[in-house]
Structure 1
Amino acid sequence: MSRIVRYLTHPQVLIEPLKDVRAWSLNKVGSNRVSSLAAQLGSLSVTRRIVSSNETKALETATPLALALGVAVEVRPRMHENDRSATGFLPPHEFEAVADQFFAEPAASVSGWETAEDAQRRIVSEFEASLTGPHEEDVLFVGHGGVGTLLFCALSGIRIDRRFDQGLGGGGCWFAFDSQVRRPKREWQPMEALMTGS
């Protein structure tokens, strides 16, 4: 049976340079955006499965939505963002330069980061495993911009390229597709579009 699958990235985070990036929380803006969506679920109102990365910021996005829908969060640790532990926190200008190179040279380990190709294989594998089985309900995946872009590229049948990233704004974007066709219907949209039933 066909169902709608959506991939949503966590919104804005509180940047804490001395803290493991994987443990960063949403900041006030990000939390408010999630709270607004949880209060007005729109097109998410028929969703009956939420599958999330185990990173704090993803869980802080998934949990309020799951509570509003009355469903449990399925946690898949391997849905984490691309592994950047080799560098840890990087100032914004340095991060953007390394991220550009990460997407531009997908087979290379840039500054010790997980390669884009490896991260893409991992997120696609997790995605496919989550959709295997008799599930007939709409699904919301909650994750991260980097691996989300890699998933978008894989589903679209296009090569890895940062121009397909969710763009500026700090996250909180989504794309959707039919579970049988498995090709994004359109490019990234802000999470607020979900409230209007888009």
Structure 2
Amino acid sequence: MASLYLTHPEVVIDPHLDVTKWGLSFTGRTRIEAAIDRGIFDQIKKIISSDEQKAIDAATLIGDHHSLQFQTDPRCGENDRSATGFLPKDEFEAVATQFFAHPTQSIRGWERAIDAQRRIVYAVNDHMKMAADQHVLFVGHGAVGTLLKCQLAQRPISRDEDQHHLGAPGGGNLFAFDWAEQRLVSDWVALEYWT
């Protein structure tokens, strides 16, 4: 039975605020609301969210519409980048490329990709064991979502697997997976194109 992994869409970027506290922008909220109206999440029976505000915002919109409580799990959070804090876009992209290219190394103090992958895989496994064959929606982030996707697809960690290469560049992308069979059902697809 397929479950979904959703990355939060566009956020309000505030360099003076901890990245984990950033919320969804008007564009991000509008994209989630349009997806809800199209019925994308109608089969979902359980929602697990990262404990970061942008993911919580998305999970709240979906959960409220479907009268579903959601659970937060810090293990579903984005890779820990607190060592550098906010980085300008070009610098961030360069460091992110290194993060994926050298998964066994800590790049500028960031959490290692292999550790972030292990964390998200364990989290998803724990929640899926309790899901009783329900359709589950995980609401999270691009990097850890990519690491989860790599595990499910049995592909090496690579930035080529990232949502920005395959879905909408601002986030708000999904993939479907079958946890019991440990397989990827679909690759990244933007909310607007999900069927």
Deviation, 1:46, is 1.6
Q: Which residue of 2 aligns with 1:188?
A: 188
Contact 1:39–1:68 (8 Å) recurs in 2: no
Report the secondary structure of 2:85's partner residue.
coil
Alpha-carbon RMSD across the aligned residues, in angstroms, is 1.2
Give the Cα–Cα distance (whole angstroms) in 1 for the partners of residues 127 and 60 of structure 2: 18
Q: 1:22 aligns with which of 20, 23, 34?
A: 20
Cα drift, residue 127 of structure 1? 0.6
Report what 2:68 is aligned to.
Answer: 71
Q: Unaligned regions of 5+ residues in structure 1, if any?
A: none
- Distance in 1 separating the partners of 2:184 and 2:12: 30
Moved more, 139-148 or 163-172: 163-172
Question: Deviation string for 1:49-107 (max 9, x for gaps)?
Answer: 01100100001011110111111111111110000000000000000000000000001
Q: Does 1:104 align with 2:101?
A: yes
What is aligned with 1:55?
Answer: 52
Partner of 2:29: 31
Match of 1:89 in 2: 86
Q: Where do 5+ consecutive residues of structure 2 fail to align?
A: none
Amino acid at match of 2:38: Q
Q: 1:181 offset after TM fit, Å?
A: 1.7
SS in 1 for 2:34: helix
Question: Counterpart of 1:112 in 2: which secondary structure?
Answer: coil
Shift in Å at residue 134 of structure 1?
A: 5.5
Q: What is the distance in 1 between the residues matched to 2:71 and 2:22?
A: 20
Q: Deviations over 1:112-149 (max 9, x none)?
A: 00000110000001010111136221111000000000
Higher relative contact order (CA 8 A, sep 6+): 1
Deviation at 1:35, TM superposition (A): 1.5
1:162 corresponds in structure 2 to 159
1:48–1:139 contact (8 Å) kept in structure 2: yes
8 A Cα contact 1:58 1:143, kept in partner? yes
**Which TM-score applies when normalising by structure 2?**
0.95
Alignment counterpart, residue 138 of structure 2, candidates 141, 153, 158: 141
1:147 aligned counterpart, secondary structure: helix
C-alpha separation between the residues in 2 aligned to 1:27 and 1:4? 29
1:8 positional shift: 0.3
Percent of residue pairs identical: 45
TM-score (norm 1): 0.93
Q: CA deviation at 1:183?
A: 1.0
Cα distance in 1 for residues equivalent to 2:140 and 2:131: 23
